[in-house]
Chains A and B, each alone.
Chain A
C-alpha cells in the first residue's frame, strides 16, 4: 500500500500543501490582491479576471472555480476580496464556511478606507498563517489523491515519451485505487471515438462524445476547423501522419484504464479511477480547472518547456526530450527524454513519475513551485458584456 503524509481538512479531504491564499472575485482587484498578499510572508496571491460583466454561464463557471480554488484541500485558509455591491465573495464565503473551511471575505467599497482594508486583511492573514503552521501532516493512502494530467508546448516527442509514460503512471495509480483526470477536450478531437470506446459504459462514452462535439461546434462558429487544420505541416514534418495519430499521442496520458466519468470544467469527480474533464487546450485555464476540481497535484508534459505552474497545486513537469531537459532543467522535474536515449523504458519513466508524485505529496517542492510559477485563469465561454 502506497501512502503519503498530507493535511486532513475539516470536510475530510486531504491536501498536499498548506497554503494561505488571497483570491479576488472581481478582475478590478488584481493588483490589490497582490498588494495584500505581500503584507504577510508566505501568503499566495491567486489573481483572476472573472466575476464582473459576465453572461450567466460564465458567472456560474467563475463561482464554481472560485469555490473549488478557495476550498481546495491544499488550502489551509483563503481570504476572498470583493468589490462594492459584488456579492460573489460573500456567496463563496458562505458556501465554504458551511463546509467548515477557513475563509473570510473583505470588500473594497467607498465606506472603508484602503488603509483600513489593508490592516484588516493583514491581521486576518497573520492569524491564518499562524494557525496553518500548527497544522500537522498525517498519513493517507494514495487512493485519496486526484492527479490532473495536462500538456503544454508539445513537440514531436510528446506522444512517444512523456505522454505514454504519464499513461503508464495513470494506469498504476488507478490500479492502486486513486484518481487521474485527463483534460483538454480540443486535444482529443480526432481520437474521441477511441476514448469513447474506453468508457466503462455506453452512457459515459456518449457523454464524452457530446462534450467533444459541442466544443467542435463552438470552434466551427468562429470559422475554424480543427479536423482539416491538423495535423499541421509542422506536425507532419515531425512524423505525425493523421489527426487520429496526433490526438492519440495526447489522450494516451490517460493510459488504458476504463474511463469512469466525464465532468464539466472545475467540477469534482464523484468516482475514483480514470476521469475526463472538459477543458480548453490552453494550459493555464486547463490546469486551473483541474485544481478547482480537486486535483492536489498536476502532471504536465512539455517538449518546448512551457513554464506554467499553479498557485494551488504542485505541477510536476515532464520533459519529452533530452534537449529541453538539458536547457531548462530548472523548470523540469522528470526527464522522459531518457526513453529516446534508450536509458529507460516508458514504464520505468512511469514508475519514476509515481515516485516523484509521492515525494511531492509528502512536501518535496517541484521546479514550478521553486520558481513561484503561479499562473491562474478561468476558462471564459462567452463574450464580455
Chain B
C-alpha cells in the first residue's frame, strides 16, 4: 500500500502522533500539516504513538487535544510513547481535570 504520510496528528495541540504504518528506526516522520522533520529513533508499530516534542517527567500526554495520561519519565522526540513511559490519571488528577464550566 502506497502511503503519502506515515503518521497522523489528531489535534494541533497534541505532543504525540499516531503511526499509520510500522515506521522503522532512522525513518523521518511525514505528517500532514507538520513541517518539522522528526527522526524516528525506534521502530513504532502502526496505531502506536510517537513523541513529537520533548516531554518532561510527570507531564501531560496530549492526544485529541486532551490529557490522556502522564509521563513517568522524560520522553524525547521520535521515541515510542506507551505503557512503559505513560500512566493513566489518578482519581485526584481526574477530578481536577474535570473542572466544570460554571
| Interface residues, chain A, with chain B CB atoms under 8 Å away | 156-157, 160, 164, 190-194, 196-197, 199-202, 205-206, 209, 236, 238-239, 241-245, 248-249, 252, 256, 322, 339-343, 345-346
Contacts and interface: CB of A to CB of B under 8 A. Distances in A.
Nearest to B86: A241
A248 B94 contact: no
B10 interface: yes
B34 interface: no
A202 to B, nearest CB: 5
A30 to B, nearest CB: 41
B68 A242 contact: yes
B8 interface: yes
A342 B88 contact: no
B21 to A, nearest CB: 8
Contacts of B63: 245, 248
Contacts of B1: 322, 341
Interface string B60-102: 0101111111000000000001110011110000110111111
Contacts of B35: none
B39 interface: no
B56 interface: no
B8 A241 contact: no
Given A157-B47, A242-B69, A342-B4, A164 B10 contact: yes
Q: Helix, strand, loop or mixed for chain B's interface?
A: loop
Contact of B69 (A156, A193, A245): A245
Interface of B: 1-5, 8, 10, 18-21, 32, 45-49, 61, 63-69, 81-83, 86-89, 94-95, 97-102
A194 B69 CA distance: 13
A196 B100 contact: yes
Contact of A160 (B3, B8, B68, B83): B8
Nearest to B20: A340
Given A252-B64, A340-B3, A342-B3, A242 B86 contact: yes
A164 to B, nearest CB: 6
Contact of B100 (A206, A249, A252): A206
8 contacts: A164-B64, A190-B88, A202-B100, A242-B68, A244-B67, A245-B63, A340-B20, A343-B4
Given A244-B69, A245-B63, A248-B66, A239 B18 contact: yes
Given A341-B3, A342-B20, A241 B95 contact: no
Contacts of B4: 341-343
Residue of B61, B69, B97, B98 with highest tally of chain A CB at under 10 A: B98
A342 B99 contact: no
A239 B47 contact: yes
B78 to A, nearest CB: 16
Contact of B68 (A157, A236, A245, A339): A245
B84 to A, nearest CB: 9
Contacts of A192: 98
A241 B3 contact: no
